[in-house]
C-alpha cells in the first residue's frame, strides 16, 4: 500500500524545529534528542519525504493537496505508533477528534489553530525547566574566591514567537525587501486608550499616565531630531506634534496636558532653529518655469510656510479662551495651554522679527496684553520691550504701536497698565520733531549740490551715478533701511505715542493708566514740539491741584514739567514756583521701605532742578533743598544715602556761596529754621547747618563715611578729606546703582576674618622669696585676732602660703 504525504506531519516537524529551546543540555538530554531524531527519520521514510527539499508555504495551498479518508489516517497512525512518544501520540489522537468549525473557516485556519495550540503546550513544558547560570565570584575576608551559581526558570523569548507568527502570516512576501523610514512607526504611534481596560485603582492610573508620558517624550524626541537632521524631507512629521497639541488626537483619545505642553514647546524650538532670518517670498511654480535647484528651494520654503501657518493657527485657537469674552470656555486646562501658547508666540516674535506672519503674531499678542491674566500680560510686556529695544528696521515696532493705539481707542482708555508701560522701552529719545529748520538747510545744500552737478563733465556724472548705484546695493545687502526712512518711522512712532498720552490726559485723567502715562511723559518730554509745552504744563498743573494723586504720580508730574522747562522750554515765560513747593513737600515720603526704589525719580528731578537750573533758583530755596536732602539721607539705605550725598557734593562744588550751611554759628542767618514748613523759600534754611553729617560720619558703610567727611571739609578736590578718583567721578545715579545691595552683594566686599585662637587670661604669679616668707611667719607667729570676747592669740606659723 502506497503511503501518501500527510500535511500534518510536515507542519509538526517544522514547528518542533523552530521552537526547540536552545539551552545547555546534559548527556541524558543529548541521548534523548538523538533518539528523537532517529524517530523523525523513520517517520520521514514512511511518508516518503526523506532527502527532499521542503515545500515553501508561499507556493502551495492546503485546498490543492490530496485529501485522505479517516481509514487511511488510522492506518498511518498504526504504522507510526511504535516510533512516537506518549505525548506525541496523544497530540495526534487529539488532533483527529472532530472539532466544531466556524462557518466559512477554511482548512488553512484549522492548521494555524493547531500550530498555536502546539506552541502553547511547548511554552508550558519549557516553563518547568530550570537553567543554571553562573554569577560573579566574590572574595572573602581571608582572600578565598567563592564561585556562585543560581537556577533560573527557562522562558522562551517573546520576540521569537512574534517573529514566527509574522513569518507564518506573511509568507507570500518573504523574498521582497522594502525600504521604509525607521521613524515612521514612531511618528504614527498614538496615545493608548484605557477605555477597554479594567483600571483597578488610582495607582494603576498614575502608573499608566507616567508610562504614557515617557513614551510620548521618546516619540517627540525622535520626531524633533529627525526634522532637525533633514528639515526638507521630514518636516511633514511635525503634524504629529500638532496632533499631540490638540485636546483629543485623531482617534478621539484625550491627550495629557503635560504631553500637550511638551509638544508645543518642541514645535516652537524646531521653528526657531529652521526658520530663516529674512522674509520668504512665495513663488507659484505652476505659473512659471524655474530651474531644478530653485524649484527644490521654493518647494521647501512653501512647505515651511504651510506648516508654520498651521502652527500659528493652532496657537491662536489655544489662546482664544483668553482673548474672547466667552468665559464658559475658560477651564483650568485651557488656561494653562493658553499660557504655554503665549510663551511660544513671544519666543517666535523675538527670535524671528522679520519672518512671514510676524504681524499676525504681534496683533494676537496685543489682544493678550489687555487680558485679565497678569502672568500673560507680563510675559507679553517683556516680549514687546525686547522687540522695541532690538528692532533695527522699526517696521514691527511701528505696527505694534499702531495696534496698541487702536486698542486703547476702541476700549476708551479702559486698558491694563502693561499696555502703556511697555512703550517706555521705545528708543525715541534722540529724535527731533522740530526738523523744519534742518529741512531748509538740507534743501539749500541739495541746491548747491545740484549746481555743482550741472557744471560737471559727462565722465564725472557717469562715475557719480555708478557710485550711487553701488552704495544702494550695499545698503540692500546689509538688510537695513536708509536713515531717511528710519527717521520717518521714528517720527510716526513718536506721534502715535504722544497721541496715546494726550488722549488719556484729556479724556480720562482718573484712569488707572495715568501713572504709566505720566512716567512716559517724564521720559520723552524733551521730544515734544515746542508749541505743545504751555498747554501740557497747564494740564499737569491742574492735575496736581485738583486731583488726589499718589506721591509717585506727583513726582512724575513734577519731573515732566522740569524736563520741559530745562530743555527748549527755557524760552517760555513760566514761573515754576508752585512746582518747587510740590517737590519740596514730597521728598521725605521716600524711605528705606518698599518705596526705596522711587528715590530714582527724585534723583532725576534733582538733576533737572538743582544742577541744570541752578542759576534760575534763589539761594534760600537752594539751601532749603540741600538741608532737606541731608535729612532724607538718614532714612534711606546706604546706596540711597550715597546718592543723596552725591547730590549735595555736586551742588556745593557748582555753587560757592552755599558754604554757609557748613558753618555751625547760629548768628549767621536771620530767624529760626522751620523744617515743617512746606515752602522752601521761607523756611530760613540759612539759620541751620548740616548736623546730619555728624551721624553719617559713624555710618556702617565706609563709602558713606568718606563722602560725609569730604562734605564736612568743604568738598576739597585734593588734600585732607578728598575723595579717591574712582569715587569722586561717579554721578549720583551711578552711586545708587553700583552700591545697590538688593542682589545680596555688598560693595565693597566684606573681608573674611582671620582665624585666631582665643586668648586665655593668665593670672599674674608672685615671685616667691624664701627670706620674705620666713620673716612674715615670724611676725605673724603670735598675732592677735580681735573677736567678740576679746583678743585671741593664733599661731600662723603652721599655715601654708
The structure's pTM equals 0.65
The CA distance from 311 to 331, in Å, is 22
- The confidence band for 423, taking pLDDT boundaries of 50, 70 and 90, is very high
Report DSSP state, residue 527. G
The CA distance from 234 to 226, in Å, is 7
The grid coordinates of residue 356 equal 512671514
The CA–CA distances, whole Å, from 50 to 20, 64, 243 equal 21, 22, 58
- Quote the pLDDT of residue 64: 41
Average pLDDT over residues 238-252: 87
Long-range contacts of 407-410 (CB under 8 A, 24+ apart): 407/366, 407/367, 407/370, 408/500, 408/503, 408/504, 409/503
Q: Please choose, from the candidates 704, 708, 711, 710, the residue with its C-alpha nearest in 3D space to the C-alpha of residue 739.
A: 704
Average pLDDT over residues 455-478: 70
pLDDT at 142 over 50: yes
The CA distance from 617 to 621, in Å, is 7
Q: Where are the domains of the chain?
A: 7-98+108-134+149-163, 202-349, 600-749, 771-801
Please name the residue that has the C-alpha cell 627670706.
771
Please name the residue that has the C-alpha cell 527755557.
570
Please name the residue that has the C-alpha cell 532653529.
273
The CA–CA distances, whole Å, from 426 to 263, 528, 691 equal 34, 15, 44
250 and 243 in contact (C-beta within 8 Å)?
Answer: yes
Listing DSSP states for 251-307 in one string gives TSPBPPHHHHHHHHHHHHHHHHHHS-SSPPPP--TTTS---HHHHHHHHHHHHHHHH
- Quote the pLDDT of residue 22: 52
Q: Which residue has the higher pLDDT, 198 or 569?
A: 569
The percentage of the chain sitting over the pLDDT mark of 70, rounded to a whole number, equals 67
- Quote the pLDDT of residue 262: 93
How open is the CA angle 349-345-353, to the nearest 5 degrees?
10
Total residue count of the chain as it appears in this document: 801
Over the chain, what is the mean pLDDT?
77
- Quote the pLDDT of residue 401: 95
The CA distance from 576 to 680, in Å, is 13
- Quote the pLDDT of residue 149: 80
Between 53-57, 396-400, 515-519, 547-551, the lowest mean confidence (pLDDT) is in: 53-57
Please name the residue that has the C-alpha cell 513718536.
494
Between 210-214, 472-476, 619-623, the lowest mean confidence (pLDDT) is in: 472-476
Q: Which residue has the higher pLDDT, 419 or 792?
A: 419
Q: Which residue has the higher pLDDT, 405 or 478?
A: 405
What are 499-526's pLDDT values in tens digits?
Answer: 999 999 888 887 888 888 988 988 888 7
The CA distance from 400 to 393, in Å, is 13
Q: Which residue has the higher pLDDT, 160 or 132?
A: 132
- Quote the pLDDT of residue 779: 66
What are 292-309's pLDDT values in tens digits?
Answer: 777 778 888 888 999 999
- Quote the pLDDT of residue 174: 42
- Quote the pLDDT of residue 94: 60
Backbone angles phi, psi at 593, to 5 degrees: -90, -140
pLDDT at 310 over 90: yes
- The confidence band for 54, taking pLDDT boundaries of 50, 70 and 90, is very low
pLDDT at 358 over 90: yes
- The confidence band for 254, taking pLDDT boundaries of 50, 70 and 90, is confident
Between 181-185, 239-243, 401-405, 659-663, the lowest mean confidence (pLDDT) is in: 181-185
What are 74-109's pLDDT values in tens digits?
Answer: 665 566 566 556 666 666 666 555 545 544 445 566
447 alpha carbon, distance to own chain's centre: 55
Report DSSP state, residue 248. B
pLDDT at 497 over 90: yes
> Which residue(s) pair with 792 in the sheet?
785
What's the farthest any 2 CA atoms get from each other in the chain?
157
How open is the CA angle 489-535-486, to the nearest 5 degrees?
10
Cβ count near 607 (within 10 Å): 20
- Quote the pLDDT of residue 564: 84
Cβ count near 83 (within 10 Å): 15
The CA–CA distances, whole Å, from 681 to 524, 588, 624, 657, 759 equal 30, 17, 7, 17, 61
Listing DSSP states for 666-734 in one string gives TTSSSS---TT-S-GGGS-GGG---THHHHHTT-SSHHHHHHHHHHHTT--SSSTTPPPHHHHT--HHH
Amino acid at each position: 500500500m502506497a503511503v501518501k504525504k500527510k500535511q500534518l506531519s510536515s507542519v509538526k516537524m517544522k514547528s518542533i524545529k523552530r521552537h526547540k529551546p536552545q539551552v545547555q543540555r546534559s548527556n541524558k538530554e543529548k541521548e534523548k534528542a538523538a533518539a528523537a531524531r532517529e524517530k523523525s527519520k523513520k517517520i520521514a521514510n514512511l511518508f516518503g519525504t526523506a532527502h527532499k527539499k521542503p515545500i515553501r508555504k508561499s507556493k502551495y495551498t492546503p485546498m490543492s493537496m490530496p485529501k485522505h479518508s479517516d481509514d487511511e489516517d488510522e492506518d498511518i497512525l498504526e504504522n507510526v505508533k511504535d516510533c512516537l512518544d506518549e505525548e506525541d501520540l496523544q497530540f495526534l489522537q487529539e488532533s483527529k477528534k472532530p472539532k466544531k468549525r466556524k462557518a466559512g473557516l477554511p482548512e488553512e485556519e484549522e492548521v494555524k489553530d493547531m500550530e498555536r495550540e502546539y506552541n502553547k503546550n511547548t511554552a508550558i513544558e519549557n516553563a518547568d525547566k530550570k537553567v543554571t547560570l553562573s554569577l560573579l565570584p566574590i572574595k572573602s575576608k581571608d582572600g578565598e574566591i567563592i564561585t556562585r551559581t543560581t537556577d533560573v526558570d527557562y522562558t522562551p523569548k517573546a520576540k521569537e514567537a512574534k517573529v514566527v507568527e509574522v513569518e507564518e502570516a506573511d509568507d507570500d512576501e518573504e523574498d521582497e525587501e522594502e525600504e521604509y523610514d525607521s521613524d515612521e512607526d514612531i511618528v504614527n504611534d498614538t496615545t493608548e486608550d484605557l477605555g477597554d481596560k479594567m483600571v483597578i485603582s488610582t495607582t494603576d492610573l498614575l502608573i499608566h499616565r507616567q508610562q504614557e508620558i515617557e513614551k510620548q517624550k521618546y516619540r517627540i524626541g525622535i520626531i524633533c531630531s529627525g526634522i532637525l537632521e533633514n528639515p526638507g524631507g521630514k518636516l511633514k512629521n511635525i503634524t504629529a506634534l500638532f496632533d499631540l497639541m490638540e485636546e483629543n488626537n485623531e482617534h478621539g483619545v484625550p491627550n495629557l496636558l503635560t504631553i500637550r505642553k511638551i509638544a508645543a514647546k518642541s514645535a516652537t524650538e524646531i521653528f526657531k532653529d529652521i526658520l530663516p532670518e529674512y522674509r520668504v517670498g512665495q513663488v507659484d511654480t505652476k505659473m512659471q518655469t524655474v530651474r531644478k535647484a530653485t524649484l527644490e528651494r521654493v518647494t521647501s520654503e512653501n512647505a515651511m510656510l504651510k506648516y508654520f501657518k498651521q502652527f500659528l493657527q493652532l496657537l491662536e485657537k489655544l489662546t482664544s479662551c483668553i482673548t474672547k469674552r466667552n468665559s464658559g470656555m475658560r477651564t483650568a486646562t485651557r488656561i494653562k495651554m493658553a499660557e504655554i501658547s503665549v510663551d511660544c508666540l513671544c519666543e517666535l516674535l523675538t527670535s524671528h522679527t522679520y519672518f512671514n506672519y510676524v504681524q499676525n503674531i504681534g496683533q494676537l499678542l496685543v489682544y493678550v496684553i489687555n487680558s485679565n491674566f497678569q502672568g500673560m500680560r507680563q510675559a507679553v510686556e517683556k516680549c514687546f520691550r525686547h522687540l522695541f529695544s532690538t528692532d533695527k528696521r522699526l517696521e514691527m515696532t511701528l505696527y505694534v504701536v499702531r495696534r496698541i493705539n487702536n486698542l486703547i481707542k476702541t476700549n476708551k482708555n479702559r486698558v491694563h497698565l502693561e499696555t502703556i508701560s511697555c512703550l517706555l522701552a521705545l528708543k525715541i529719545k534722540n529724535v527731533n520733531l522740530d526738523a523744519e529748520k534742518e529741512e531748509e538747510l538740507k534743501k539749500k545744500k541739495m541746491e548747491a549740490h545740484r549746481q555743482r552737478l550741472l557744471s560737471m563733465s559727462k565722465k564725472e556724472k557717469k562715475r557719480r551715478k555708478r557710485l550711487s548705484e553701488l552704495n544702494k546695493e550695499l545698503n540692500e545687502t546689509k538688510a537695513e533701511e536708509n536713515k531717511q526712512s528710519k527717521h520717518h518711522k521714528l517720527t510716526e512712532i513718536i506721534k502715535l505715542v504722544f497721541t496715546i498720552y494726550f488722549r488719556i490726559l484729556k479724556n480720562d485723567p482718573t484712569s488707572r493708566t495715568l501713572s504709566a502715562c505720566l512716567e512716559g511723559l517724564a521720559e520723552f518730554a524733551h521730544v515734544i514740539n515746542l508749541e505743545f509745552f504751555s498747554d501740557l504744563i497747564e494740564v499737569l498743573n491742574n492735575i496736581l491741584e485738583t486731583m488726589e494723586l499718589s506721591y509717585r504720580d506727583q513726582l512724575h508730574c513734577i519731573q515732566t514739567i522740569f524736563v520741559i522747562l530745562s530743555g527748549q522750554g527755557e524760552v517760555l515765560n513760566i514761573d515754576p514756583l508752585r512746582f518747587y513747593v510740590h517737590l519740596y513737600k514730597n521728598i521725605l515720603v521716600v524711605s528705606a521701605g518698599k518705596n526705596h526704589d522711587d528715590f530714582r525719580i527724585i534723583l532725576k528731578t534733582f538733576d533737572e532742578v538743582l544742577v541744570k537750573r541752578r542759576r534760575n533758583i534763589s539761594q534760600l530755596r537752594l539751601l532749603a533743598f540741600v538741608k532737606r536732602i541731608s535729612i532724607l539721607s538718614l532714612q534711606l539705605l546706604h546706596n540711597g544715602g550715597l546718592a543723596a550725598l552725591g547730590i549735595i557734593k555736586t551742588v556745593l562744588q557748582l555753587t560757592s556761596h552755599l558754604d554757609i550751611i557748613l558753618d555751625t554759628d547760629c548768628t549767621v542767618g536771620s530767624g529760626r529754621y522751620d523744617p515743617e514748613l512746606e515752602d522752601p523759600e521761607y523756611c530760613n534754611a540759612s539759620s541751620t547747618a548740616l548736623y546730619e553729617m555728624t551721624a553719617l560720619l559713624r555710618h556702617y558703610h565706609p563709602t558713606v563715611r568718606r563722602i560725609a567727611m569730604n562734605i564736612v571739609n568743604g568738598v576739597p578736590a585734593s588734600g585732607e578729606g578728598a575723595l579717591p578718583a574712582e569715587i569722586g567721578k561717579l554721578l549720583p545715579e551711578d552711586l545708587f546703582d553700583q552700591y545697590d545691595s538688593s542682589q545680596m552683594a555688598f560693595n565693597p566686599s566684606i573681608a573674611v576674618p582671620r582665624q585666631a585662637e582665643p586668648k586665655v587670661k593668665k593670672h599674674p604669679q608672685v615671685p616667691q622669696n624664701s627670706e620674705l616668707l620666713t620673716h612674715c611667719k615670724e611676725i605673724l607667729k603670735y598675732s592677735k585676732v580681735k573677736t567678740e570676747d576679746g583678743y585671741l592669740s593664733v599661731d600662723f606659723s603652721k599655715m601654708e602660703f
